[in-house]
Amino acid sequence: MTDLRRAPAIPEQWDGETDVLVVGCGFAGGAAAITAHDQGAKTLILEKMPDPGGISVCSAGSVRVAQDANEAFAYLQATCAGTTPDETLRPLAEGMTEISEFVESLATAVGATTQLREAPGTYPFPGQATFGYFTVEDVPEFDPANGYPQVRGMPGGGRLFNVVDRNLRMRSIEVRTNSPVTRLIANSDGVVEGVIAECDGKTQSIRARRGVILACGGFEANPDMQKQFWQGKPVVSTAFAGNTGDGIRMAQDLGADIWHMWHYHGTYGFRIDGYPFGIRTKRVPDWRPNEGQTRDVKMPWILLDCDGRRFMNEYEPYMQDTGHRPFERFRPETQDYPRIPAWLLVDEEGRKQYAIGQPLYNQRDVSLEWSADNLREAENGIFKTANSVSELAAGLNVSEDRLRASLETWNDFCRDGLDDDHRRPPISMMPIATPPFYYSEIWPIVSNTQGGPVHDSRQRILDVYGQAIPRLYAAGELGSVFGHLYMGGSNLAECFIGGRNAALEAAKQTLL
Ligand X SMILES: Cc1cc2nc3c(=O)[nH]c(=O)nc-3n(C[C@H](O)[C@H](O)[C@H](O)COP(=O)(O)OP(=O)(O)OC[C@H]3O[C@@H](n4cnc5c(N)ncnc54)[C@H](O)[C@@H]3O)c2cc1C
The one-letter amino acid at 228: Q
The least distance separating ligand X from the CB of residue 497, rounded to whole angstroms, comes to: 11
Instruction: Tell the smallest beta-carbon distance from residue 468 to ligand X (Å).
Output: 20
495 contributes a contact to ligand X by CB under 6 A: yes
Is 447 a binding residue for ligand X by CB under 6 A? The answer is yes
Q: Does 498 bind ligand X (CB under 6 A)?
A: no
Q: Are 340 and 278 in contact (CB under 8 A)?
A: no
- Do 444 and 205 contact (CB within 8 A), yes or no? no
- Which of 22, 93, 213, 215 binds ligand X (CB under 6 A)? It is 215
Stretch that binds ligand X, among 46-54, 336-344, 378-386, 395-403 (CB under 6 A): 46-54
- Which region, judged by CB under 6 A, interacts with ligand X, from 47-55, 118-126, 417-425, 502-510? 47-55
Quick one: which of 246, 181, 202 has its CA closest to 18?
Answer: 181
Question: Could you say whether residue 154 binds ligand X (CB under 6 A)?
Answer: yes
List the x/- string, 279-318, binding to ligand X by CB under 6 A.
----------------------------------------
Q: Select 158 or 341, whichever has its Cβ closest to ligand X.
A: 158
Contact flag: residue 62 with ligand X (CB under 6 A)? yes
Contact 96, 66 (CB under 8 A): yes
Q: Which stretch binds ligand X (CB under 6 A): 26-34, 103-111, 375-383, 465-473?
A: 26-34
Measured from the CB atom, the residue of 148 and 311 that comes closer to ligand X is 148
Q: Does the N-terminal peptide bond of residue 234 adopt cis geometry, omega within 30 degrees of 0?
A: yes
**What type of residue sits at position 68?**
D
Q: Is the dihedral of CA 71, 75, 77, 83 positive or negative?
A: negative
Among 33, 89, 239, 345, binds ligand X (CB under 6 A): 239
Binds ligand X (CB under 6 A): choice among 121, 232, 242, 483:
242
Measured CA to CA, the distance from residue 413 to residue 419 in angstroms comes to 5
Q: What is the CB neighbour count within 10 angstroms for residue 343?
A: 23
Helices (H), 23-141: 27-38, 69-80, 86-109
Specify whether the CB–CB gap between 489 and 103 falls below 8 A.
no
Q: Which of 452, 476, 479, 483 binds ligand X (CB under 6 A)?
A: 476
Among the listed residues 21, 46, 393, 497, the single contact to ligand X using CB under 6 A: 46
Helices 27-38 + 155-170 axis angle, to 10: 30
Q: Using the minimum distance from each CB to ligand X, give the nearer residue, 176 or 422.
A: 176
CA atoms within 13 A on the CB side of 228: 8
Q: Does residue 491 touch ligand X according to CB under 6 A?
A: yes
> Of the listed pieces 44-52, 138-146, 169-177, 504-512, which binds ligand X according to CB under 6 A?
44-52
CA distances for 469 relative to 169, 328, 333, 509, angstroms: 31, 35, 46, 13
- To ligand X, the closest distance from the beta carbon of 22 in angstroms equals 9
**Closer residue to ligand X in complex, CB, 29/144:** 29
Q: Which of 20, 21, 54, 175 contacts ligand X by CB under 6 A?
A: 54
Q: How many Å is the Cα radius of gyration of the chain?
A: 23
- CB within 8 A of 78, min separation 6: which ones? 123, 125, 126, 127
* Cβ atoms 213, 32 nearer than 8 A: yes
342 touches 442 (CB < 8 A): yes
Query: Per CB under 6 A, does 100 bind ligand X?
Result: no
Residue 25 near ligand X by CB under 6 A: yes
Q: Which residues bind ligand X (CB under 6 A)?
A: 23-29, 46-49, 52, 54-56, 58-62, 154, 180-181, 215-217, 238-239, 242-243, 246, 265, 360, 447-448, 476-478, 489-492, 495
